[in-house]
Structures are given as structure tokens and as C-alpha cells.
Amino acid sequence: MPRGFLRFAGGALAAAGVLTLLINAGLSPFLSSDASFAETAMSPVFFWRQSLSALTALLLVFGSIGLYLAQAESLGQFGAVSFVSACVGSMLILATEWTQVFLVPELATAAPEALNALGDTEGVGRYTLGTLIALAVFTLGWIAFAAASLRAHVFSRPGPILVIAGFFAIPILGGLLPGVWGFAAGNAVLGAGWVSLGQEIARGTRNGDGEHRLGV
């Protein structure tokens, strides 16, 4: 496999981890919790947050491909399926964030009542359902992919463990800590896992040992 692409993919995964922390700790706290959805969607903070979230999702697409190629021979069938789930989930999140960047602000300006009604619809509307499907595929896919990577023993254990722990820490800490800080703390754990894995891919090492090189 080409080392150039693996270095790029590893850097993309590490950058996604850093952006995950910056978005949730540096931008999310400035979103108003009292404003309506339409008012929030027209704010500059919303634009930058969703733009960086879309970039993060795109980086995760490339990162997941690199993570798979770097350990494909050791992952087995479960690892292949989990990779597809993580990659497709990242693509779905990218599509969701893309809509948030370009379509939602336009709706907020042209039809704010309609946009606000999307979140107030009884039951689960199509907008909410689409978001939930993307989030579910993304979350379950990355948890499974991290578990498969942990079982493959190609990379050191902290990276996959932090990714799995991060996905569980986000809702748990989000419910325990005030405001958005619990979610930020959980995302910091998740981001640290992606950074760890990305650095190992970029360095081309197995189990943190620089003497065992991946690729050519």
C-alpha cells in the first residue's frame, strides 16, 4: 500500500480528533441555549461550527480508509464490515453537516417558522429520523471498528480504547456535567483516540514500535 496515502490518512484522522475537541470546547459553548433553531442557524457561530464539523466528517472518511488499509490483513470479516459502517457513517454525518451549513441557514432566513417546526413535530419527523440514522450508523460503526482494531493487535491499545470510551462518555458526561461541558469532555476522549490512531498510521508503526513498519 502506498505510504504517501497512509501518511495523509493518518494525518486526516489525527486532525479530525483535534477538530472534535476544538469544535465542542471552543465553539459549542457560544451557541445560545435560549434562542430558537432559526435564530441559532443564522448566527456566525453556527456557521463556523457546522462548517468545521463537515470538515471533520470528511477527514474521518479518509481516516477510516487509512485505518482499514493499515491493518486489513489482520481485521477479518468483522473488521471489514465495521470499516464500511464507520466510513458510511462518516459520509452520512458529512451529508448532515453539509445540509446544516448551506440549507438550514437559508430556511432560517426564508421560513423561520417552518424550520422551528421541524424540531417541534409530534413523533419523529423525516428530518429528525435522517439525523438519527446518520448518528446511529456513525456511532455504532466507529465503536465496532475500534473494537475490531483492538482485536487485530496492529496498533497500540490506547487509541481504540479511547475511541470506544469516548462514544460512551459523551452521553454519560453530558448528563452529569452542566451545560455543554460534559459533551465537550466526552468528545475530548473520543478525539484523543482518533489522534492516537492517526499518529500511529502516519508514523507507520505497529503497536507503537517504530521498528515494525506498515506499507512500503
What is residue 128's predicted lDDT score, i.e. its pLDDT? Answer: 86
CA distance 133 to 136: 5
Give me the chain's average pLDDT, please: 91
- pLDDT category at 124 given cuts 50, 70, 90 is confident
DSSP string, 132-160: HHHHHHHHHHHHHHHHHHHHHTSS-SHHH
Spatial CB neighbours of 57, under 8 Å, sequence gap ≥ 6? 90, 91, 93, 94, 97
Burial of 164 (0-12, 13-18, 19+ CB in 10 A): buried
Q: In sequence order, which residues have a C-beta less than 8 Å from that of residue 206 and are 6 or more positions away?
A: 154, 155, 212, 213, 214
DSSP, res 121 = -
pLDDT digit string, tens, across residues 171-190: 999 999 988 999 999 999 99
